[in-house]
Structure 1
Amino acid sequence: MRHRTCTSPCGVSSLTFPAKMKSRRIFGFSLSLILINLASIMERADENLLPAVYKEVSEAFNAGPIELGYLTFILKFVQSIASPVAGVLVLHHDRPVVLAVGTACWALSTSAVGLSQRFEQVAFWRAINGFGLAIVIPALQSFIADSYMDGLRGTGFGLLSLVGAIGGIGGSVLATVMAGHEYWGIPGWRCAFILMASVSLLIGALVYLFVVDPRRDPLVTHGGDDDDTERAISVAKSTAIPSSVWSNSWLAMKSVMKVRTFQIIVLQGIVGSLPWTAMVFFTMWFELIGFDNNSSAALNSLFAVGCAMGSFLGGFIADRITKRFPDSGRVMCAQFSAFMGIPFSWILLTRIEPSVDNWNAFAVTLFLMGLSISWCATCANNPMFAEVVPPKHRTMIYAFDRAFEGSFASFAAPAVGFLTEKIYGYDSESFKSANASAQGALALSKGLFMMTVIPFGLCSLFYSPLYVVFKHDRDSTKLACSKELEDRDRVI
């Protein structure tokens, strides 16, 4: 088979890929992007399964908020520390292969959670699940970054987040509704896990078989025609320096870590991710207030719909604002979104009386909250990452962002459990009487309030240095890319 080398700006990959392949199209849409978005749907659905059935898992394994928080902590922590593996794999393998392997890993571990008979088994398989997600998520993000131009990247990430949120809604609703029933004598929450794992395996197989990496698609590869490709091959042959997988990976890691925009976004993300991790307790809080499974699922769905629409809206608005304010538009959008978490958390957790009679008030607040606080990743973080490193390092920068942010954010769920039980007096008997449930709901709302308002405020503040730093990093990357291309031309 004839081989060609990717001609992305800022360097020829150390790998040679099979001759460029064109992604199939269905009704004018790229089949690769359709399947990538389906993978995102299943990834988000998988993440939302366990929080949606915290109450049932608590009863099945006699676990309180602290133990439930540890389950989320285990997944998030393993996912974060293992994320750099995705950057290493994508440097040396096609992304569809990496995505298929990660999908199979998370699907098998999800089914194992549904079959677990002891709490320790659930914890172990949640760790394996986190490893699978660690491989998939950065590869998905870099795939989207390579598939869209600079001025459209916010919309592209917004679309990925929108369809992913559909999966989150579906996973949460499916698990919450099924949890209230038994199927063939098996608890519904276990059946939900097994069903979701089966669908995930199918999507992973389709990604492996039909998705074409943007580095191999002539419609999206940044390098031009076949003459450019052949010229890049000549340069690679004449200038190649023998290097190992690990040395290439180490050089990529050092390059990413030095970028100040990356450092600042990671800093804000460390605190900005805390509220989102804490929100896994929303379903449990609604049920403690007195809402049944269907009502709780509906409230979570409205919040998820708001987040889905908001993530797309934020990316779209930022793309438009950036045309007028190229150096600061994305930062302004991100600060606005982070700040809006403060008033909405205050209203939701302290001003609305915790009663089933106030379902409408909870619903409206949750929808508007989701619509306004979900912009940061799509309007700023992900598009800006794509502009401050060479294309060949994009998966690595997304992987390290997940590593740093996720490792700290993973402590949020146990922190909510600790605050709820040790500080605000949550009683594990809360499910057994109406009065105890009300007290448990109040304690949990206080814990959630502390883990949302303060982090949202700090997150908005920490974006400020990007008004100066981002322009410098973006221009430096463009200059380095241009210089490298000129050097190649001189070699030829």
Structure 2
Amino acid sequence: MGLNRSRLRSSAPFHSKPLFRRHLQSMKYTYPQCFPLFYVIYLCWKCFFFFCVESTGDILLTFHRTRKIFGVSLSILLINLAAIMERADENLLPSVYKEVSEAFNAGPSDLGYLTFIRNFVQGLASPLAGVLVINYDRPTVLAIGTMCWALSTAAVGGSQQFHQVAMWRAVNGFGLAIVIPALQSFIADSYMDGVRGAGFGLLSLVGTLGGIGGGVVATVMAGQQFWGTPGWRCAFILMATLSSFIGLLVFLFVVDPRKTVSVNHDARINLERDELVEKGNGRVSSVWSESWMATKAVIKIPTFQIIVLQGIIGSLPWTAMVFFTMWFELIGFDHNSTAALLSLFAIGCAMGSFLGGVIADRLSQIYPHSGRIICAQFSAFMGIPFSLFLLKVIPQSVSSYYTFAITLFMMGLTISWNATAANGPMFAEVVPSKHRTMIYAFDRAFEGSFSSFAAPLVGILSEKMFGYDSKSIDPINGSPREAFALSRGLLSMMAIPFGLCCLCYTPLYKLFRRDRENVRLAAVKEEEMI
């Protein structure tokens, strides 16, 4: 797949217990007061990992030295597994909206606020990922974020009050805020420019498969009871357990491609993670100073500003789509049929994201300054006709099952290109490699914060403008009237933003070329100085 193997060299032997202690101690003393939640998670990791690392030393030593399974980089494999769990966790709550609505007597606007809270906190906390990655290697940051979202997911499954669910969704957003930018920058550093779209596409592909799995499992389990416990609660606890396990594997086995570089060109001696952590034990003031400089460097880039603007607008439809599960169930589809329809849409998105990345890679070789932008505009534009056809043209009846299925698959195949074909690869080309996590973090900060308003807006429009009434819903046969109202709210938050998103890419035909050239010249000057 064009993996940049030169950056994934073998490393020194793995000393699990001393390395583990240095990781945690450095976190403890660097951020003891600024982030209380971070310190609590530090204590959880200390207890959890000490037992696991001490009991599996010999096995870990063997795998850490090889770092490959069937010829595939172990780091890339585990990073993709983390992406699978991240997307599965994101799709968990929307898949059981109907059950949560009945359990807590909540309407669409209340459910929309749950998504709003998580996305808003995720957006505000995303810059923290850029700060942490400056001082620590990304596997440690990923593991902490994974533990955070696993804890909150389990807590949602055990919540008895709606406000408890809202609080833990905020904690979930904090964990995702740390994980997602670190994942994206890890992939950007692991692939070369000409195939970076395929790298992001593969990450999105496997992540979407995780979303499919999480959504299907939650939707199917939602209609059951296990040991007297509602199935949707069991689904949350199961997801939390799996996420914790993946976080453990990431912490123990993944090697940061940016930091495993040679310091002796003759002997090819590589820095290992323990030496890197020792470097991160400097004064807190220097960390914040470097973070502030990186922030200013990223925000003033015109390409970043344009992509963030389109991302804010373009994220609105995707955030609104969390109501698809509820909409199909209101039409009258059962849990299994709804899960199948949304799985087809997710499969289409997975294939489309990878296909879009590959096509953009090829097109960028022919048109290096505009190929990716063309792909992004095509994908955004296709959201308009598909939204209209899905929500307004197709009869809202269970007899339209196959029409819904084909439309959802084709829609997913064509509207999912932007992130992998353009946004992710272009971000990597307009900043130095050391600032990549920061640019992805601020992208998530701006997009997540503003797009989080889409979900409650769908609920408000459905209730206030189109007549949705949660009290008149038939829990068995659905409610065509409420389904129609919800579809109009969805259409309002999908078709128009897709069109504006397409137009927002236009200035990049001029700006992207200039920004990329500036980075190239800066890199040349830096090499000459060295």
TM over 0.5: yes
TM superposition shift of 1:260: 0.5
TM superposition shift of 1:399: 0.2
Give the aligned partner of residue 325 of structure 2. Answer: 283
CA contact (8 A) 2:7 2:260 kept: no
Give the aligned partner of residue 311 of structure 2. Answer: 269
C-alpha deviations, 1:201-260, integer Å up to 9, x for none? 000000000000002345xx8x99457989xx9xxx9xx999711000000000000110
Question: Aligned pair 1:417/2:459, yes or no?
Answer: yes
CA contact (8 A) 2:143 2:250 kept: yes
Give the aligned partner of residue 187 of structure 2. Answer: 144
| Stretch moving more, 153-162 or 21-30 | 21-30
- Give the counterpart of 2:143 among 95, 100, 105: 100
Number of residue-to-residue matches in the alignment: 463
**Whole-angstrom distance in 2 between the partners of 1:144 and 1:224:** 25
Question: Aligned pair 1:50/2:98, yes or no?
Answer: no
C-alpha deviations, 1:311-358, integer Å up to 9, x for none? 000000000000000000000000000000000000000010000011
C-alpha deviations, 1:134-183, integer Å up to 9, x for none? 00000000000000000010000000000000000000000000000000
Give the aligned partner of residue 351 of structure 1. Answer: 393
CA contact (8 A) 1:65 1:417 kept: yes
**Whole-angstrom distance in 2 between the partners of 1:209 and 1:430:** 52
TM superposition shift of 1:429: 2.1
Q: Which amino acid aligns with 1:403?
A: A
TM superposition shift of 1:430: 3.6
Give the aligned partner of residue 63 of structure 1. Answer: 106
Structure 1 SS opposite 2:479: helix
Higher RCO structure, 1 or 2 (CA under 8 Å, sep 6+): 1
CA contact (8 A) 2:86 2:207 kept: yes
Give the aligned partner of residue 360 of structure 1. Answer: 402
CA contact (8 A) 2:430 2:519 kept: yes
**Whole-angstrom distance in 1 between the partners of 2:230 and 2:290:** 49
- Give the counterpart of 2:84 among 24, 41, 56: 41
Aligned runs of 1:395-410 on 2, under 5 Å?
A: 395-410=437-452
Structure 1 SS opposite 2:412: helix
- Give the counterpart of 1:91 among 134, 155, 166: 134
C-alpha deviations, 1:344-397, integer Å up to 9, x for none? 000000010000011000000000000000000000000000000000000000
Give the aligned partner of residue 454 of structure 1. Answer: 496
Give the aligned partner of residue 112 of structure 1. Answer: 155
CA contact (8 A) 1:430 1:436 kept: no
TM superposition shift of 1:487: 1.0
**Whole-angstrom distance in 1 between the partners of 2:497 and 2:251:** 39
Q: Which amino acid aligns with 1:87?
A: G
Identity of aligned residues (%): 70
CA contact (8 A) 2:7 2:190 kept: no
TM superposition shift of 1:435: 9.1
C-alpha deviations, 1:22-81, integer Å up to 9, x for none? 771111100000000000000000000000000000000000000000000000000011
TM-score (norm 1): 0.91
Change in 2 beyond 3 A, CA 1:160/1:422: same
Q: Which amino acid aligns with 1:303?
A: F
Structure 2 SS opposite 1:244: helix
Question: Aligned pair 1:393/2:450, yes or no?
Answer: no
TM superposition shift of 1:484: 1.0
**CA RMSD for the aligned pairs?**
2.4
CA contact (8 A) 1:429 1:436 kept: no
- Give the counterpart of 2:517 among 466, 475, 478: 475
Change in 2 beyond 3 A, CA 1:291/1:436: closer
TM superposition shift of 1:485: 1.2
Change in 2 beyond 3 A, CA 1:23/1:211: farther
Give the aligned partner of residue 172 of structure 2. Answer: 129
Aligned runs of 1:163-182 on 2, under 5 Å?
A: 163-182=206-225
CA contact (8 A) 2:197 2:421 kept: yes
TM-score (norm 2): 0.84
Aligned runs of 1:309-320 on 2, under 5 Å?
A: 309-320=351-362
Give the aligned partner of residue 11 of structure 1. Answer: none
- Give the counterpart of 1:438 among 469, 480, 502: 480
Change in 2 beyond 3 A, CA 1:224/1:325: farther
**Whole-angstrom distance in 2 between the partners of 1:7 and 1:31:** 14
Question: Aligned pair 1:212/2:255, yes or no?
Answer: yes
**Whole-angstrom distance in 2 between the partners of 1:208 and 1:7:** 19
Structure 2 SS opposite 1:197: helix
CA contact (8 A) 1:264 1:466 kept: yes
Give the aligned partner of residue 27 of structure 1. Answer: 70
**Whole-angstrom distance in 1 between the partners of 2:517 and 2:7:** 21
Q: Which amino acid aligns with 1:192?
A: A
